[in-house]
Structure 1
Amino acid sequence: MDQKLAALGDAYVNLVYSVALSKRKGEPTGAKVDNRLLAEALKKAGLRSLLPSRIDRHKQADAAEALIVYAWVRGSMTMEEGVSILEQGEDAVEAFCSFLLTAKKKLDL
């Protein structure tokens, strides 16, 4: 996995999540997405099996972030689509699961 893509993904995912939370709460909100949440969403989306078996939670989260930002960089998904998906989800894990599955689908993976 490209570490630069994962680093960009970290910033991008936090931004999209913060915008979604801000829209839901009606006030500016900054948030950092926890690695545990992203790793759980990756597993729930059925994407965990695509990674090596002994990879830790941090690397799983990096993979999730890289997939999401790759869909954005390629123009397959807009930031607004990501915000909308996260804004609609009551549960953060479910919302990120939907985000990951949408990114995968739009990238034809």
Structure 2
Amino acid sequence: MPTDNTIPASLGPLISEVVSQDPEASEIQRVARATALAVALDHTAAQLVEHFVENARREGRSWREIAAVLGVSRQAAHSRFAIRTTGSRPAGRTAHPGDTT
């Protein structure tokens, strides 16, 4: 939950990136490229949050505190991040094949 409206990744440069990849591309080709870029950005955004959750855990913050900032339950935060931040899995959980993050 940002404290201001300043977001480093703004729409203009992202549009320019899609267009610059192939200035002669059709709009439907740009939709495909924009979709691929959005998937990559989603992955990067998830890694960004995971990085700071891991740092918060190292700092001694509880799952309850982290969950409050994320706007989810303690259980949801733990389920989502515990595997990545501690290497442990909740009982009955297995890693997804190919998940390298």
Asked if TM exceeds 0.5, the reply is no
Q: Which one has the largest radius of gyration? A: 2
Q: Which has the higher contact order (CA 8 A, sep 6+)?
A: 1
> What's the TM-score, normalizing by structure 2?
0.30
Structure with the largest fraction of helix: 1
